[in-house]
Structure 1
């Protein structure tokens, strides 16, 4: 699995299988509790109790609940980046998260919309299936976003999509706008997904389907105007 760069690492990396299972259980429970009670009410004691691990095991790997949330966010993002890459290179196992061109799949997307559409679909999947993803992705609790502690999830995804546009310039034909174009796509599509899940815990299908159409229309206009200006 890809692990995004810029996230603080746990104070200790589990080596033994039993320790790795405990860490996985703690992160799973962290996500469940984030959905149930939110970040402010979350405590390491609650995590230890539900995960059925000694409180000492929590502090063996994580200094506090913030590190737990960071590690869970990194896991969610890593899974998302891998799934974005899958359609373009199903044979690969994982890529480093440095966003270098060499790290990307060798088969380019058909066009810029295929890349954005894949991100949209996989973000919906994350919201539906990964506990804690909505809280961590939206960053609705300001305590999750202490300046300088870790990158915002949007920026990690924008970096990843920007690398696609830089490696495959034919996707946009406007090299100087690659990052801004990626930002527009990520921000618009994520806002639509967030709206769909505010309307319905399972994701309002009408918002999701209409949102896809309107987002493509908006982004098509954006890229068309930028291409015309570039020429």
Structure 2
């Protein structure tokens, strides 16, 4: 899967040709790998260029600094996670009111990326390295995406009430999942189980 960042990221120039898009993918892949190896503070655009095997000017063609590069990686993570969730939901089928299976898919795919996707443990959707203006905070972006993905499974319109409900759920799950991965590199299973129960309890109260 070679997703490129969504148009809302801070790319200086969007790739037009396939060769340019492939180069951007290599840059973001290198950024993700280096985040796992050296962390965000030690990350540099020069190191990313060297790892990606591209001139430093190619990095600056797309990004003004490493913060913009991390934001683009976060957006790519969101796009890839959304694709994975959409595939799971398609397999579940559209059953209005059966939100538990849908929410399990949402959480399971996030946990899978948390455990396996390079750089995800630091950047995920931008929560660890906040970027942009307040109205585009990472969890608001995630809740907005979930609203679109889940509305038909919930048998509801994608209205402001549903956005608020899902934002609360996302904020709560985010805090608890971060706690789980601080306790265990693979995610403390007891905390994750409690997170799942908390989500079911809250969403059951407002959605059943």
TM-score bracket relative to the smaller structure = 0.7 to 0.9
Residue of structure 2 in register with 1:7 after alignment = 9
How far 1:79 moved relative to its partner? 0.5
Report the alpha carbon displacement of residue 77 of structure 1 after superposing the two structures with TM. Answer: 0.4
- The separation in 2 between residues aligned to 1:13 and 1:170, in whole angstroms, is 38
Distance 2:110 2:40 in 1: 21
Give 1 or 2 for the bigger CA radius of gyration: 1
Instruction: Provide the aligned C-alpha RMSD in A.
Output: 3.1
1:65-144 matched pairs, under 5 angstroms: 65-89=66-90, 107-108=94-95, 111-137=98-124, 139-141=127-129, 144=130
- Structure 1 residues 52 and 60, CA, compared in 2 at 3 Å: closer, same or farther? same
Instruction: Give the match for residue 100 of structure 1.
Output: none
Q: Does 1:52 align with 2:53?
A: yes
Deviation of 1:49 after TM superposition, in Å, equals 1.8
Q: Counterpart in 1 of 2:196?
A: 212
Q: Distance in 1 between matches of 2:100 and 2:12?
A: 36
Q: 143, 147, 151: which one pairs with 1:162?
A: 147
Give the superposition deviation at 1:109. Answer: 5.8
Shift of 1:3: 5.8
What does the per-residue CA deviation read over 1:115-162, in whole Å, with 9 as the maximum and x for residues that have no partner? 222111111011112122232236334xx42426x8233112211222
Distance 2:101 2:4 in 1: 21
Would the alpha carbon gap of residues 151 and 36 (structure 1) be closer, same or farther in structure 2, given more than 3 Å must change? Answer: farther
What residue in structure 2 maps to residue 94 of structure 1? none
TM-score by length of 2: 0.81
| Cα 1:36/1:139, change in 2 over 3 Å | farther
The gaps in structure 1 that reach 5 residues or longer are 91-105, 225-231
Larger RCO (CA within 8 A; separation ≥ 6)? 1
Are 1:7 and 1:151, in contact at CA under 8 Å, matched by a contact in 2?
no
Extract unaligned runs of 5+ from structure 2: none
